[in-house]
Amino acid sequence: MSVTVRVPAKVNVQLAVGSARPDGFHDLANVFLAVSLYDEVTVSPASSLTITCSGPDAGQVPLDRTNLAARAAELLAARHGLSPDVHIHIAKDIPVAGGMAGGSADGAAALLACDTLWGLGSTRAELLSICAELGSDVPFSLVGGAALGTGRGERLTELEVGGEFHWVFAVADGGLSTPAVYGEFDRLTEGLAVPAPAASPALLDALRTGDAPSLAGALANDLQPAALSLRPSLADTLQTGTSAGALAALVSGSGPTTAFLTKDEESAGSVAAALLASGTCREARVASSPTVGARVVGA
């Protein structure tokens, strides 16, 4: 008996960042959109908690208890007085470089898979509270679609999306540490009045109407200057994609993955080819949004 859950990657179409809070986190207005790149997480009974991973980036995935999938199994088991004796296999297709919430996705997927395997029938609210404990982006991986995250990004309000958006994601060599990017944001904004983060009405409207050019005009990531400061070469990647016809380009989350919104699927294909040919990225992936959150696909 095993349970498999499919879970999407995300892009942040708006990431408005406030100043650092006493707990070290930053208040956010974080508009998430789920995109059609997926990991599949399979859990099956075992004598102890073990993890394996397959896929081209598998070598970069930690297979110890720091993996959010392992932590999800442990947290859920602890809440129910169980022992987390499962084997977790992650079939990884979400780029590992960072900025697409691949680790968070695996946490949400493992949580739903274990809940199903152990027949716990947790409510959505119970699962979301464990997701929030695992990390700021994990609740969105469970919910999918489109949502505004407030607080440290974990308090979600689902959003309406009126059409399909097409994207290219350029995967950089190596990662960027999320705490380091937030630290650089603090350094760059030191002494400045950082406004309270708020969702942009123009952006929410563009999502609602499904209008790609309007969304392109409203894309915003307050972490982008920090990511570019730590990794200046990302500016060339962004420029290459816009020169190749993308409607807009931005760093995805804390990077170093960069995201390019295109007018249609065909344009996404040509932007991806130009990015790859330029040598400014390791890989270029085409995807569309929105798509559903973590779902059981096999049991």
Q: Which residues of this protein are in contact with ligand C5P, per CB under 6 A? A: 25-26, 28, 135-137, 152-153, 178-179, 182
Asked if 137 is an active-site residue, the reply is yes
Exactly one of 27, 106, 115, 137 is catalytic; name it. 137
At its nearest, how many Å lie between ligand C5P and the CB of residue 86?
23
Asked if 92 is an active-site residue, the reply is no
Nearest to 109 by CA among 256, 286, 247, 293: 293
At its nearest, how many Å lie between ligand C5P and the CB of residue 28?
5
Measure the CA–CA gap between 18 and 26, rounded to whole angstroms. 6
**Is 10 or 26 the residue whose CB approaches ligand C5P more closely?**
26
Residue showing tokens 């942040």 = 12
At its nearest, how many Å lie between ligand C5P and the CB of residue 128?
14
Measure the CA–CA gap between 79 and 69, rounded to whole angstroms. 16
Measure the CA–CA gap between 68 and 106, rounded to whole angstroms. 7
- Amino acid (1-letter code) at residue 293: G
**Is 207 or 223 the residue whose CB approaches ligand C5P more closely?**
223
**Is 111 or 247 the residue whose CB approaches ligand C5P more closely?**
111
Exactly one of 10, 27, 57, 222 is catalytic; name it. 10
At its nearest, how many Å lie between ligand C5P and the CB of residue 93?
21
Tokens for 157? 């309000």
**Is 30 or 122 the residue whose CB approaches ligand C5P more closely?**
30
What is the four-CA torsion angle of 250, 254, 256, 259, rounded to 10 degrees?
Answer: -30
Q: Edge-to-edge strands of the sheet including 258-262?
A: 248-251, 258-262, 165-171, 283-289
Q: Which positions are catalytic?
A: 10, 137
